[in-house]
Amino acid sequence: MTAPTLVWFRQDLRLSDQAALAAAASEGPIVALYVLDDDGPGDWRIGGAQRWWLHHSLTALAKSLGRHRIPLILRRGEAVTAVTAVAKESGATRVHALRHIEPWWQAAEEALAGTLDLVLHPGQQLADPGEIRTGAGGRYRIFTPFWRALAATLPPPKPQPAPKHLHGHGEIRSDRLEDWDLLPTKPDWAKGFDVWTPGEDGAAEAMEDFADRVSAYDHDRNMPSIDGSSRLSPHLHFGEISPAAVWHAAHDAAPHSADPFLREVGWRDFTANLVDQYPKIGRQNGRDAYDRLPWRTGAAADRDFHAWTEGRTGYPIVDAGMRQLWATGWMHNRVRMIAASFLTKHLLLDWRRGERWFWETLVDADYGNNSVNWQWVAGTGIDSNPFGRIMAPLTQSPKFDAADYIRLWVPELRDLPDTTIHDPHGAGCAPKAYPAPLIGHREGRERALAAAAKIKT
């Protein structure tokens, strides 16, 4: 009897354009394995919102594999131990997997390679991070030259369909997904997550829907009241669709106007490139000088932080975004920047507190994107906005026509006209139920600049 080959799924929960699965299928029977490892990632064990998504994505993957009469084996525990155990139980000596750049996955890959024949494949980015090099052979730290170098390698290879012939291998013990308790019970804080359809089919539907809108992306993506975002980020994070498939679908739908969106797909590659160089980027400032920045701490800072998480800052566009995040596990990208700037500049709170909140509440919380984006807004990153560039929520809100967005997520303000809804306190018409601003814009800006000045002396 031919020994099986093990396919180790992680953030690549799809059958199409899945190089590890295709390679394993060409060798004979396969064992499909997913390990829920809450130990190896440490502080980056997947958060509550991601766990909801994972439950449904694994359900979808198991259904797809089931059509081929292949069970999805589930194990919970430390990844290296679990993969090694399943390989031994099944008689597999070779493991195929897509290469991952997160530091905990790289550590697991290194450990497994010492005991099993581990074959790693590309497929998580448009190009493997180490392949995009400067003319001198170095690594990029700034996005624009990185994007130029990456774009020169595009288009990526055409996405490959799922293997037609897949064969399983015997009976192997598996955990029950229901026993992992990934879904919330009481209270059911995920009841608003029904706007999402996790899984490979859901990703394909999201891509098809966005293909009809990609030509308007450059304008519409900045308008919170318009459905202009792709909403592909959680599908990409969980690998339910490959970046190559996204690139080709967008380019084919709008060959002359898809570049602004494709550049954002390239940003995802850029953050992976930075993580590959600086694995601790989720905790360490990209610029050492900001280690001396006097972030606020103490009871008042904690109260402000909790008001921010609950959408009670007194700034309508910030509050709308934070409430959308809690209700749906996602926030409009323009509003993410405004909310992050407000936390780090107006409230002078450490970006890592915001990163932790987003990690717990976003369905698309990606180690690279979440860490690099927070540092970009905070001004602490390797490639980032200057700290002194402080977004003005009361200006950004009318500029990007966020009135209807605010009405949707801040119902206390829904009866206000466009002329006052962006700044009801300034207009003197704020309802009693709506909280007062935590701090004035000018006061917050001056405090932030004064704090930044201290690290330069």
Q: What is the mean pLDDT of residues 376-395?
A: 95
DSSP string of 33-90, one letter each residue: EEEE-SSTTGGGS--HHHHHHHHHHHHHHHHHHHTTT--EEEEES-HHHHHHHHHHHH
Q: What is the mean pLDDT of residues 369-393?
A: 96
Residue-range domains of the chain with CATH: 5-124 (3.40.50.620), 129-158+199-277 (1.25.40.80), 288-452 (1.10.579.10)
Strands (E), 122-205: none
Q: What is the mean pLDDT of residues 223-232?
A: 96
39-94 tens-digit pLDDT: 999 999 999 999 999 999 999 999 999 999 999 999 999 999 999 999 999 999 99
Specify the pLDDT at position 260: 97
Q: What is the DSSP letter of 284?
A: S
1 pLDDT more than 80: no
Residue with tokens 């801040």: 410
Instruction: Measure the CA–CA gap between 249 and 244, rounded to whole angstroms.
Output: 9
104-114 tens-digit pLDDT: 999 999 999 99
Strands 117-121 and 94-98 come out as parallel
C-alpha 220 chain-centroid distance: 20
Q: What is the mean pLDDT of residues 336-345?
A: 98
Q: The tokens of 161 are what?
A: 């369909």
Nearest to 398 by CA among 372, 424, 377: 424
257 pLDDT more than 80: yes
228 pLDDT more than 60: yes
208 pLDDT more than 70: yes
Amino acid, single-letter form, for residue 267: W
Specify the pLDDT at position 383: 94
274-296 tens-digit pLDDT: 999 999 999 999 999 999 999 99
Instruction: Measure the CA–CA gap between 15 and 241, rounded to whole angstroms.
Output: 9
* Residue partners of 120: CB distance under 8 A and separation at least 6: 20, 97, 98, 99, 109
Q: Count other C-beta atoms under 10 Å from residue 420's C-beta.
A: 16
127-143 tens-digit pLDDT: 999 999 999 999 999 99
Q: Count other C-beta atoms under 10 Å from residue 424's C-beta.
A: 19
Instruction: Measure the CA–CA gap between 28 and 219, rounded to whole angstroms.
Output: 49
Q: What is the mean pLDDT of residues 427-437?
A: 97
Specify the pLDDT at position 374: 98
Please identify every residue annotated as catalytic: 264, 267, 295, 333, 351, 374
Q: What is the DSSP letter of 14?
A: -
171 SS3 class: coil
Q: What is the mean pLDDT of residues 230-253?
A: 98
445 pLDDT more than 90: yes
Calculate the dihedral angle through the C-alpha atoms of 367, 371, 374, 378, rounding to the nearest 10 degrees.
180
457 pLDDT more than 60: no
Residue 31 has φ and ψ, to the nearest 5°, of -120, 120
Query: Would you place residue 185 in the very low, low, confident or very high pLDDT band (cuts 50, 70, 90)?
Result: confident
Q: Is the pTM of this model over 0.95?
A: yes
Query: Would you place residue 232 in the very low, low, confident or very high pLDDT band (cuts 50, 70, 90)?
Result: very high
Q: What is the mean pLDDT of residues 219-239?
A: 96
Specify the pLDDT at position 380: 97
